[in-house]
């Protein structure tokens, strides 16, 4: 049976693969060398790769997992295993498990043949850990946990199941670092149909209030950053890199797909620049039973 997140109101495996399994070669043309496909963390003078590595390190520190025995990455760092590799190569983590619904991303990670990495093509609700995790990191997956046509009450319940499940997987005192796009000044009714139907089907965005409500009593939200301008800059970098290698991109995926991605990257850049969307980075501490 095909594993989906549909029973919890989220995007199906097929919807995820519609976007992420397009072509590894296509994405490699305009992402940085780490193949990280989520908002970078910029400082003056940074290259895209440096900004992406800074972002990975931010979440590693927020989840307090340096030197941990066992860490979970839900969404494979929203890319092709960059977080998993950073955990074991640079943060001293003994073993890292990555969950993704993208066959292409999983194949990319497995091609390294690194016994410290265990990448699984399964959604979070089907995951059965072998042991407790010292920390959990999730970048760019939360946006796919709800559909735009699902009542808000069901959306909150889906989010709460996610937090409750993560709570049960963590060791006592464990932490979680979460990065997600969220609604800013925009609302559900303002969703661009092009984005909903052609780029990220079956997906919706949370609000910060949704996350707070869903995590209440399970996780203490210790810190929140809204780095929407970092995402505007990241999207611009991707857009201009794609434009610079347009001939190769056209040869790989064709004119229609390239045009679709140019439109998507430019629309998202405007959305973050104007504040219609936010980019939230949250540090959460597991609330242990008394």
- Report pLDDT for 12: 61
| C-alpha–C-alpha distance, residues 16 and 14, integer Å | 5
Phi and psi for 180 in degrees, rounded to 5? -150, 145
| C-alpha–C-alpha distance, residues 39 and 270, integer Å | 14
Sort 22 into a burial class: Cβ within 10 Å, 0-12 / 13-18 / 19+. middle
Among 123, 59, 71, residue whose Cα is nearest residue 97: 71
| C-alpha–C-alpha distance, residues 151 and 146, integer Å | 10
- How far CA 210 is from CA of 28, 205, 215, 216, 245, in Å, comes to 34, 10, 9, 10, 39
Set out the domains of the chain in order of their start, with CATH numbers. 6-286 (3.40.50.150)
CA R_g for the chain: 18
Pairing of strands 95-100, 117-121: parallel
| C-alpha–C-alpha distance, residues 58 and 54, integer Å | 6
186 with 38: CB under 8 angstroms? Answer: no
- Report pLDDT for 148: 79
| C-alpha–C-alpha distance, residues 56 and 252, integer Å | 29
| C-alpha–C-alpha distance, residues 260 and 68, integer Å | 41
Q: Provide the 3-class DSSP secondary structure of residue 248.
A: helix
Give the tokens for residue 168: 């049960």
- Report pLDDT for 128: 96
Q: Provide the 3-class DSSP secondary structure of residue 189.
A: helix
Q: What is the pLDDT along the chain (290 residues), one digit of tens a residue?
A: 233 334 445 656 565 554 566 888 999 999 999 999 999 999 999 999 999 999 999 999 999 999 999 999 998 767 899 999 999 999 999 999 999 988 888 998 999 999 999 999 998 999 999 999 999 999 999 998 888 788 889 999 999 999 999 999 999 999 999 999 999 999 877 777 777 767 676 678 999 999 999 999 999 999 999 999 999 999 999 999 999 999 999 999 999 999 999 999 999 999 999 999 999 999 999 999 87
| C-alpha–C-alpha distance, residues 191 and 178, integer Å | 23
The structure's pTM equals 0.92
């Amino acid at each position: 049976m095909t594993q989906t997140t549909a029973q919890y109101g989220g995007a199906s495996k097929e919807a995820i693969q519609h976007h992420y399994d397009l072509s590894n070669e296509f994405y490699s043309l305009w992402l940085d060398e780490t193949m990280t496909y989520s908002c970078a963390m910029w400082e003056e003078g940074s290259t895209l790769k440096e900004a992406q590595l800074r972002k990975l390190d931010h979440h590693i520190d927020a989840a307090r997992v340096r030197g941990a025995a066992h860490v979970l990455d839900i969404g494979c760092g929203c890319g092709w295993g960059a977080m998993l590799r950073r955990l074991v190569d640079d943060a001293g983590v003994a073993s890292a498990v990555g969950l993704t619904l993208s066959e292409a991303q999983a194949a990319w990670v497995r091609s390294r043949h690194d016994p410290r990495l265990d990448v699984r093509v399964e959604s979070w609700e089907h995951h059965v850990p072998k042991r407790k995790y010292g920390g959990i990191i999730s970048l760019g997956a939360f946006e796919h946990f709800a559909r735009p046509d699902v009542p808000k009450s069901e959306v909150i319940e889906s989010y709460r199941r996610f937090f409750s499940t993560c709570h049960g997987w963590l060791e006592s005192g464990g932490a979680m670092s979460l990065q997600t796009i969220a609604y800013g000044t925009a609302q559900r009714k303002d969703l661009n149909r092009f984005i909903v139907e052609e780029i990220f089907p079956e997906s919706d965005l949370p609000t910060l209030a949704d996350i707070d409500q869903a995590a209440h009593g399970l996780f203490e939200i210790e810190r929140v950053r809204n780095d929407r301008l970092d995402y505007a800059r990241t999207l611009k970098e991707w857009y201009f890199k794609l434009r610079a290698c347009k001939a190769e991109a056209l040869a790989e995926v064709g004119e229609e797909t390239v045009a679709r991605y140019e439109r998507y990257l430019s629309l998202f850049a405007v959305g973050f620049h104007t504040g219609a969307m936010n980019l939230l980075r949250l540090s959460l501490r597991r609330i242990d039973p008394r």
